[in-house]
Every structure is written in C-alpha cells, then in structure tokens.
C-alpha cells in the first residue's frame, strides 16, 4: 500500500499542533500544558507517551534540558560533553519549534520520575 510523504505528514501534524489550541488546559503550569500539547502532537510519533520510557523509535527523554532540546531540535547536534543515548541520526530537525523550547522543557521536566 502506498504511504504518504513522511515530510508532508510531519508538516501536517505540526500545523495541527499549532491549530488545536481550543483544548481546555488542565490546572497547573500553562507552559507544561503547552509543552504537552506539542509533545503529543509531534514527538509522540516516535517517542513514548510516557517520556520516561523508550518509544517506537526514540529514547526516553523525560527531564531533557533546555540546552539538549535546543541543540538536538534546532541543529541536530548535542551539547558539548553530552553523551547521546543513541548514535543514530534518525530524528529530523524541528527548527520551527524554537519559540516552544521552554514549554517542551517544562513539560519534560514535569514528567521526570
């Protein structure tokens, strides 16, 4: 069966993530709620619903630092001295998430066990 263009699918997911802001925010830090929305819409494709566990493709990323998110998502790199969990380069860059890094970091910090 033919499958859709994966780049296009990611773009559509991203648009959906940005568009669906009508959902009621749960109590607590609004940054965490915004970060969770992005995580569920984009990262969840490869990472686990519980970021403490490995997902279909990506490793556990609960507690990932703002610096790690910035280097990995924007430039496909890692912070100096950081040992990546995987040596693969399967994850695409997400430069358009630059304005959302604080929210994603807040969500991942809130879920760290």
Chain residues binding ligand HEC by CB under 6 A are 42-43, 45-47, 57-59, 61, 64, 68-69, 72-73, 84-86, 88-92, 94, 97, 104
Smallest separation (angstroms) from ligand HEC to the CB of 105:
9
Smallest separation (angstroms) from ligand HEC to the CB of 35:
9
Q: Would you put residue 70 in left (φ > 0), alpha (ψ -120 to 50) or beta?
A: alpha
- By beta-carbon proximity to ligand HEC, the closer residue of 27 and 83 is 83
CA nearest neighbour of 106 among 34, 14, 17, 27? 34
- By beta-carbon proximity to ligand HEC, the closer residue of 33 and 64 is 64
- By beta-carbon proximity to ligand HEC, the closer residue of 12 and 57 is 57
- CB contact at 8 A, 84 and 71: no
Smallest separation (angstroms) from ligand HEC to the CB of 9:
10
Joined tokens for residue 63: 């507690």
Cα dihedral across residues 33, 35, 37, 43: positive or negative:
negative
- By beta-carbon proximity to ligand HEC, the closer residue of 30 and 92 is 92
- CB contact at 8 A, 78 and 68: yes
Tell me the C-alpha distance between 20 and 111, whole Å. Answer: 22
Smallest separation (angstroms) from ligand HEC to the CB of 30:
18
């Amino acid at each position: 069966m033919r499958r859709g263009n994966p780049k296009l699918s990611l773009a559509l997911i991203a648009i959906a993530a940005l568009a669906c802001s009508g959902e009621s925010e749960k109590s607590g830090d609004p940054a965490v709620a915004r970060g969770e929305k992005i995580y569920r819409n984009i990262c969840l494709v490869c990472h686990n619903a519980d970021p403490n566990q490995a997902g279909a493709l990506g490793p556990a990323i609960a507690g990932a630092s703002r610096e790690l998110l910035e280097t990995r998502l924007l430039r496909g790199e890692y912070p100096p001295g950081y040992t990546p969990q995987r040596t693969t380069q399967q994850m695409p860059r997400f430069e358009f998430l630059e304005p959302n890094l604080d929210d994603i970091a807040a969500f991942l910090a809130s879920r760290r066990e």
